[in-house]
C-alpha cells in the first residue's frame, strides 16, 4: 500500500493521530477487514506496536474489533468515523470543562494562585511581556485582558476583524460593560461588517476609521496587545501579537488614540 506522506500528514492534523495510528488506519481502510499481523506488514509499523495502536483506534471510534481466532479488525466508513470522532470530542470537551469548573471550588486552585502571587512579586514590570502566536491564542489572551478590565477597553481593528471580535469577545465585552468599564472600538466600517458594528454599538462606542488599518488593544491604560501582521495576508495559525504590561507606554498610546478618536465617524 502506497500512501503519500502529504496525505498522511493532513490526516494526522485533521484527526489528531500520530504517524503509526494514521498508517495502520489507512492500511485497514485499504483492506476492509484484516489482522494485526497483516496490517503491520502493509503499514510498515512494528508488529510489537500494531496491536496497541489498533486498540487505541478502536477506543477513538475509528475501527471495530471482530472477535474470533485470529482477532480481526473491521474498517468503518470514513463518514461514520467523522461522526464518531466529533461526538467523542464533544464528550471529552464537556468532561474536561466540568473538571476545570469543579477546580474553582477546590483547594488546589488556591495553592496555584498562591504560587503565582509569590512569583509575581519577584517579576519586574518590564518582564511582563511576550509574544502570542496563532489567532485563537491571540483572542484567548485578549479575552483574558477584557475579563480583567476595571476602567477602560480600547480596541482598534480591521474591517474583517470587527466581525471576528463580535463572535469571539462579545460575552466578555458585555460583562465588562455591566461592570461599568468604558469600551471603545474603532474599525473601517463597510457593508460587510455594518451589522456586526451595530450589534457591538449596544455595549460600546463604535467609530469608523476610514483609510486607517491597525490592530491593537489597550486595557486600563496599562496593558497593550499589538497585532503585528496584516490579517488579510497571514494565515490565522501564523498570526502574531506582542503583549506588554507597561503603564508608561499604554498611557502614551491611549493619549495618542484620544486625538484620533475625535476625528473618527460615529457608528450606531
We report the CATH number of the domain holding residue 199 as 3.30.870.10
- The span from the CA of 60 to the CA of 11, in Å, is 14
**Count of the separate structural domains present in the chain:** 2
Closest by CA position to 11, among listed 64, 62, 73, 84: 62
Evaluate whether 206 touches 154 at the Cβ level (below 8 Å).
Answer: no
Mark which of 81, 103, 137 sits at the end of a domain. Answer: 81
Residues 43 and 141 in one domain: no
* 98 domain residue, yes or no: no
* 110 domain residue, yes or no: no
* Cα–Cα distances in angstroms (integers) from residue 54 to residues 50, 73, 80, 118, 263, in the given order: 6, 8, 17, 47, 64
Q: What is the pLDDT of residue 121?
A: 56
**Looking up cell 502566536, which residue turns up?**
133
Residues 263 and 131 in one domain: yes
* Cα–Cα distances in angstroms (integers) from residue 248 to residues 113, 123, 145, in the given order: 27, 17, 17
Distance from chain centroid for Cα 151: 26
Q: What is the CATH number of the domain that holds 53?
A: 1.10.10.10
- The span from the CA of 131 to the CA of 149, in Å, is 20
Neighbours of 80 (CB within 10 A): 13
Domain that holds residue 252: 127-267
Tens of each residue's pLDDT in the chain, 268 residues: 567 888 888 899 889 899 999 999 999 999 999 999 999 999 999 999 999 999 999 988 899 888 778 889 999 899 999 998 888 888 888 888 888 888 877 777 777 777 767 755 555 555 557 889 999 999 999 999 999 999 999 999 999 999 998 889 999 999 999 999 999 999 999 999 999 999 999 999 999 987 788 999 999 998 999 999 999 999 998 999 999 888 888 889 999 898 888 888 887 6
Residues 132 and 76 in one domain: no
Residues 221 and 151 in one domain: yes
Q: What is the pLDDT of residue 128?
A: 57
Q: For the full predicted model, state whether its pTM sits above 0.75.
A: no
Q: What is the pLDDT of residue 116?
A: 65
Q: What is the pLDDT of residue 149?
A: 95
Q: What is the pLDDT of residue 220?
A: 94
Residues 43 and 171 in one domain: no
Mark which of 81, 111, 142 sits at the end of a domain. Answer: 81
* 12 domain residue, yes or no: yes
Amino acid at each position: 500500500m502506497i500512501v503519500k506522506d502529504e496525505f498522511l500528514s493532513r490526516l494526522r492534523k485533521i484527526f489528531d493521530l500520530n504517524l503509526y495510528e494514521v498508517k495502520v488506519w489507512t492500511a485497514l481502510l485499504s483492506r476492509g477487514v484484516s489482522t494485526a499481523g497483516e496490517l503491520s506488514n502493509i503499514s510498515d509499523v512494528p508488529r510489537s506496536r500494531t496491536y496497541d495502536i489498533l486498540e487505541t483506534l478502536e477506543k477513538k471510534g475509528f475501527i471495530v474489533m471482530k472477535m474470533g481466532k485470529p482477532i480481526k479488525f473491521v474498517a468503518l466508513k470514513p463518514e461514520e468515523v467523522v461522526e464518531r470522532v466529533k461526538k467523542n470530542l464533544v464528550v471529552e470537551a464537556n468532561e474536561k470543562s466540568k473538571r476545570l469548573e469543579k477546580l474553582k471550588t477546590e483547594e488546589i486552585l488556591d495553592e496555584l494562585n498562591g504560587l503565582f502571587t509569590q512569583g509575581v512579586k519577584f517579576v519586574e514590570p518590564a518582564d511582563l511581556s511576550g509574544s502570542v502566536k496563532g489567532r485563537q491564542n491571540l483572542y484567548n489572551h485578549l479575552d483574558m485582558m477584557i475579563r480583567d478590565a476595571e476602567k477602560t477597553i480600547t480596541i482598534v481593528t480591521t474591517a474583517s476583524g470587527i466581525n471576528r471580535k463580535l463572535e469571539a469577545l462579545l460575552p466578555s465585552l458585555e460583562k465588562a460593560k455591566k461592570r461599568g468599564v468604558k469600551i471603545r472600538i474603532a474599525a473601517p466600517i463597510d457593508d460587510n461588517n455594518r451589522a456586526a458594528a451595530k450589534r457591538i454599538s449596544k455595549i460600546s462606542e463604535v467609530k469608523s476609521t476610514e483609510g486607517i488599518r491597525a490592530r491593537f488593544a489597550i486595557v486600563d491604560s496599562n496593558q497593550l496587545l499589538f497585532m503585528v501582521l496584516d490579517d488579510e495576508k497571514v494565515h490565522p495559525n501564523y498570526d502574531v501579537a506582542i503583549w506588554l504590561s507597561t503603564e508608561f507606554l499604554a498611557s502614551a498610546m491611549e493619549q495618542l488614540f484620544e486625538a484620533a478618536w475625535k476625528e473618527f465617524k460615529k457608528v450606531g
